[in-house]
Amino acid sequence: MAPGELARIEPAGQVEPWKPATCGPTGFADLPLDNKELEILDEVIDGAERVTGLRFSAYLGDLGADSRATALGLHAGLGSDAPSAVLLALSPGQRIVEVVTGTVAALRITDRAARLAVLNVVSSAGNGDLQAALINGIRTLADQAGTLPDRSSW
């Protein structure tokens, strides 16, 4: 067991890591976010894309045994947008956050900026608010990327 990890003692004397229960919104047991929450997330992503000129994508769900490979595959699935895309992937059940940037996006979003976004996601997800976790992560990444330069004068 890792330092600082909570444990529970089973009747047989075995110690197992404590895992909080996760649940979805009422009435949407198989969906982590309801329609209104998805609309708000979509508005945040749209705003981030308008301001930065980058493509933002969010994934919420299980990332499998190799979370990085799954996140890279999801990012590659963005096709021709992948070079200028940023993927924020959150797997609350696994307690994993992955940020993947394309080659163009990586010029504007540093590893330090991605780590800051991950800290914001973890902070909100730790409180159980998955929508806020994704929104805070996208906003942090967009803030770190900065605004799209005005090209009308070029």
Residue 33: its pLDDT value, please?
Answer: 84
Q: pLDDT tier at 150 (50, 70, 90 boundaries)?
A: low
Q: What is the mean pLDDT of residues 90-101?
A: 93
The residue segments making up the domain with residue 84 are: 32-145
Residue 45 lies in a domain: yes
> How is residue 100 written in tokens?
């993947």
Residue 154 lies in a domain: no
CB 84 within 8 A of CB 54: yes
Residue 49 lies in a domain: yes
Count of domains for the chain: 1
DSSP secondary structure letter of residue 147: P
Mean confidence (pLDDT) of the chain: 82
Residue 117 lies in a domain: yes
Residue 3 lies in a domain: no
DSSP secondary structure letter of residue 23: -
Residue 87 lies in a domain: yes
Pick the closest to residue 88 from 64, 109, 117, 48 (CA basis). 117
Q: What is the mean pLDDT of residues 18-23?
A: 42
CATH number at residue 133: 3.10.310.50
Q: Is 125 helix (H, G, I), strand (E, B) or coil?
A: helix
DSSP secondary structure letter of residue 127: T
Residue 149: its pLDDT value, please?
Answer: 66
pLDDT at 16 over 70: no
User: 34-66: per-residue pLDDT in tens?
Assistant: 889 999 999 999 999 999 999 999 999 999 999
